[in-house]
């Protein structure tokens, strides 16, 4: 396989998580009796542009299909983050009724609802039918399609250029990253701005966040590599912020290279320098990650086996992709983890991909009073602990395993 950005032959394995189904391919009870499509989950690092990337085995339209079940609005903390961003960027760019905001991968309208509330014209582009419908139910215009340079050209011909394009947690989800980014330079107005949010590769490695690796994430991005990808596709980065979402993310501000007039912040060179000093542009930085993941896997299995032997009940919270990766890499099934609780009604009554662990509604916790609740979406740990604080009534405890085992 060749690098999806610079076309260099890929020779170096970053991590191999074995074979598993796509992390959001939830199963109905009837589907449990049928063969389940699974694919290698192997990640490579390019020794030319340093893009960390999955090998291509699953097409995007297979994973982001009509029954896609990830709805952003089920997380209160994520809604708060979206509202805060809209308030901030509206002020920074002086957005008003004469400007246009576009969100790529608009999901269920979790962010554009706040843009709309300010009276700012907006629309979203979203390929998954379920989430697009949820956004439309909020009164938000959604173009149900994948975004790329061709789609951007179509929109420009329709007079739908943007003053701001928002792309939260989508840059990693596209197999053709060059075609995707090129679309931004086409769709932006002369002085338009794009912002990209994505988990920072630096945190993934330093905090052992291997469970954020799954088929839906084609790329794992450092700031240095992101700048190079944007530059080669007609965009220039002019600012960057390190933010706390998803275990440590970046918010990158970019403009058209040919017409943008925003001054470049010193934060750009500072973060590039930081990454360079850490060694993000050397193979040595990427070595040893497999062993770290295997250590966490053994800790997870050891905990489940010991609690099983002690006749104590363990359940999970959050039928998230993170949980799928951890459970499938560890070979965990319903014999060790009874079920996973999730607020999303689209997931309830279904089964986790690969592990076939049932997904149930929250009321089961009060009925069963488990000894331990493993929080799989550790990035919203505080939100979950507050929501489920009543487990303390029966001396229940919360457990996380990333970056290391923690019992609370």
Give mean pLDDT in consecutive 10-residue pieces for the chain, a chain of 408 residues.
Answer: 96 96 92 93 97 81 57 81 97 97 95 97 94 94 96 98 97 95 98 97 96 94 98 98 92 97 97 96 96 97 97 96 96 97 94 97 97 96 95 97 93
Domain ranges of the chain: 146-286, 291-407
Kindly state the tokens that stand for 38.
């699974």
Q: What confidence tens digit (pLDDT) does each residue in 52-78 have?
A: 999 877 666 665 555 555 677 777 888
Query: What pLDDT score was predicted for residue 75?
Result: 79
Region class of 7: left (phi > 0), else alpha (psi between -120 and 50), else beta: left
Query: What pLDDT score was predicted for residue 67?
Result: 57
Task: Name the CATH superfamily housing domain 146-286.
Answer: Vaccinia Virus protein VP39 (3.40.50.150)
Question: In angstroms, rounded to a whole number, what is the distance separating the alpha carbons of residues 361 and 349?
Answer: 8
Domain 291-407 sits in CATH at 3.40.50.720
Q: Do domains 146-286 and 291-407 have the same CATH topology?
A: yes
Query: What pLDDT score was predicted for residue 70?
Result: 65
Q: Between the CA of residue 82 and those of 87, 111, 197, 360, what are the distances in Å?
A: 9, 5, 11, 28
Of 85, 122, 81, 80, the C-alpha closest to 101 is 122
**pTM for this prediction:** 0.93
Query: What pLDDT score was predicted for residue 64?
Result: 55
Q: What confidence tens digit (pLDDT) does each residue in 337-355 have?
A: 999 999 989 899 999 999 9
> DSSP label at 8?
P
């Amino acid at each position: 396989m060749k690098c999806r950005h610079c076309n260099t032959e890929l020779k170096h394995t970053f991590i191999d998580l074995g074979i598993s189904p796509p992390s959001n391919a939830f199963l109905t009870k009837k589907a449990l009796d049928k063969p389940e499509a699974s694919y290698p989950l192997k990640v490579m690092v390019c020794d030319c542009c340093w893009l960390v990337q999955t090998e291509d085995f699953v097409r995007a339209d297979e994973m982001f299909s009509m029954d896609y079940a990830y709805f952003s609005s089920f997380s209160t903390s994520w809604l708060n983050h979206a509202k805060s961003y809209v308030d901030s960027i509206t002020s920074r760019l002086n957005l008003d009724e004469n400007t246009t905001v576009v969100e790529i991968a608009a999901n269920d309208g979790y962010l554009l609802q706040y843009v709309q509330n300010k009276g700012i014209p907006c629309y979203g582009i979203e390929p998954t039918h379920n989430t697009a419908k949820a956004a439309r139910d909020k009164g938000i215009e959604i173009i149900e399609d994948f975004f790329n340079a061709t789609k951007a050209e179509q929109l420009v011909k329709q007079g739908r250029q943007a003053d701001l394009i928002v792309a939260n947690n989508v840059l990693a989800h596209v197999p053709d990253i060059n075609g995707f980014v090129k679309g931004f330079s086409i769709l932006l107005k002369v002085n338009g701005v794009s912002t990209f949010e994505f988990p920072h590769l630096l945190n993934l490695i330093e905090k052992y966040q291997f469970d954020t690796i799954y088929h839906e994430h084609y790329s794992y991005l450092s700031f240095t590599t992101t700048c190079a990808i944007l530059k080669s596709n007609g965009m220039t980065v002019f600012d960057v912020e390190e933010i706390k979402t998803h275990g440590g993310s970046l918010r990158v501000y970019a403009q058209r290279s040919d017409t943008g007039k925003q001054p470049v912040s010193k934060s750009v060179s500072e973060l590039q320098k930081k990454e360079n000093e850490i060694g993000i542009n050397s193979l040595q930085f990427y070595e040893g990650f497999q062993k770290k993941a295997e250590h966490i896997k053994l800790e997870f299995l050891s905990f489940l086996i010991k609690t099983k032997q002690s006749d104590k009940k363990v359940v999970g919270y959050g039928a998230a992709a993170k949980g799928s990766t951890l459970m499938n890499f560890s070979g965990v099934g319903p014999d060790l983890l009874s079920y996973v609780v999730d607020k999303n009604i689209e997931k309830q009554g279904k089964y986790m991909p690969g592990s076939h662990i049932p997904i149930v509604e929250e009321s089961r916790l009060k009925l069963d009073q488990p000894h331990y609740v493993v929080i799989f979406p550790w990035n919203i740990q505080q939100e979950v602990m507050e929501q489920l604080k009543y487990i303390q009534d029966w001396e229940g405890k919360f457990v996380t395993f990333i970056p290391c085992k923690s019992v609370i």
